[in-house]
Structure 1
């Protein structure tokens, strides 16, 4: 049974965590399902915006399910659990579509890292953010010490990771990590997604790539993707492909 669902309607995709009994904590199967849905979304040209949501009203995601990783040996824990999660959240961050994390409840540990992989975050007033890994003797493993350092001021991040402090929705909004706090997240998410859908998809995609390259979100891939997109639109590219197919020397025009 799937615990991560994908619904697509009107140009908006919703990736929804559905494990409320465990406060939407993530396990290996959910990570694999999340990965598959991200692939589907990336390849669907009709999708203009992606919402990442969760069932229930207590938690968006409280991180990784301890039962899913506590029995793993050191090598397996590092090689598979940490790397798999890191890879999937990286792919979410690099989606060509704009993404919004809808934080209906608490986002702790891996749940906070999941939210950080989205372009924007909106949050319910009662929700809290935390990095509680040190409480169980581990460290953030899915970009909590990397991507989050670019999104949360270092002193605040240290409060969370080194002193165990939880951050309220109000404070998260004040420091710019959360775009807006609302009692009606569904309506707010719909409004924001509708605005995104009205914009030029290619302009949004390229702008997102440029911003990510500047902030260090896999800049090598972003720069080469932008360069490849630019060259693909040239007459020289068309001539080069045609010449290869016809087994002749290309006649490049520089256009």
Structure 2
């Protein structure tokens, strides 16, 4: 696929996905969402890709929200379909990605932009970032998982406050409440993400995928998280990476994982 709204490249086994609409503050429209869906899906079977870094072009915004002009006239059914397609193809796909996904939040992450960041496994924010869910000012609520993931990350009380007031919070406040993992200077944002990704790349790929599945299961009311952990723990025993990891530990050497 030739991407029109994204910059996509693989370097050192990291897939870099940059939403490239800086003139629109990287707002999400149907084309952007379709391209993100394709990039994330393709990464799952690309053996070159061990982890994913998602960010926005420019210094002003990660994603400043959804492109409101596209859905202003939607009906009830069209609105439901919009949310369902986003959940299935983009936001849940990121959350359930077998390859770890880090969001590098470079500026505004509002509405669908914050929801996109929350779907990622780890969030790093630049110190100029502003985060929020302003949907109630438009007569809407967050529709891409925001009501669920925000409460999971910061608790119900803070989630209600952020959604009810529609206020933006600073990167430092987001760090204090557990919404982001790290806050760094804008000039250090990519380097910090890459520092974490380099560590991740040294770990066993199949074990990382199992960990993602097990952690996510704990937040799925239809799934027994503990049973998923038991199953995934057991699955690790039949991998070559388990044999390599334990052998390397006993032999006091660095493991060389193959992802098999």
TM-score (norm 2): 0.83
Gapped runs of 5+ residues in structure 1? 235-255
From 202, 205, 215, the equivalent of 2:206 is 202
TM-superposed CA distance for 1:21, in Å, is 1.0
String of CA shifts for 1:5-57, please: whole Å, max 9, x gaps: 32111110111101111111111111111110011111112322110111011
TM-superposed CA distance for 1:231, in Å, is 11
TM-superposed CA distance for 1:146, in Å, is 1.2
2:12 aligned partner: 10
Q: Distance in 2 between matches of 1:217 and 1:51?
A: 29
1:230 aligned partner: 235
Residue pair 2:7, 2:18 contacting (<8 A) in 1 also: yes
String of CA shifts for 1:157-211, please: whole Å, max 9, x gaps: 1121101221110011111221110111011111111111111111211122111
Residue pair 1:57, 1:104 contacting (<8 A) in 2 also: yes
Q: How many residues align?
A: 233
Q: Distance in 2 between matches of 1:220 and 1:133?
A: 32
2:191 aligned partner: 187
TM-superposed CA distance for 1:233, in Å, is 5.0
Residue pair 2:206, 2:236 contacting (<8 A) in 1 also: no
Computing the radius of gyration from Cα coordinates, the structure with the larger value is: 1
Residue pair 2:54, 2:101 contacting (<8 A) in 1 also: yes
1:197–1:218 Cα change, 3 Å: farther
Residue pair 1:24, 1:60 contacting (<8 A) in 2 also: yes
1:201–1:72 Cα change, 3 Å: same
Residue pair 2:63, 2:114 contacting (<8 A) in 1 also: yes
Residue pair 1:212, 1:218 contacting (<8 A) in 2 also: no
Residue pair 1:130, 1:165 contacting (<8 A) in 2 also: yes
1:107–1:231 Cα change, 3 Å: closer
TM-score (norm 1): 0.84
1:212 aligned partner: 216
Q: Distance in 1 between matches of 2:130 and 2:155?
A: 17
String of CA shifts for 1:111-145, please: whole Å, max 9, x gaps: 00000000110001111111100111111100011
Gapped runs of 5+ residues in structure 2? 240-260
User: Helix, strand or coil for the counterpart of 2:146?
Assistant: coil
Aligned CA RMSD, in angstroms, stands at: 2.5
TM-superposed CA distance for 1:153, in Å, is 2.1
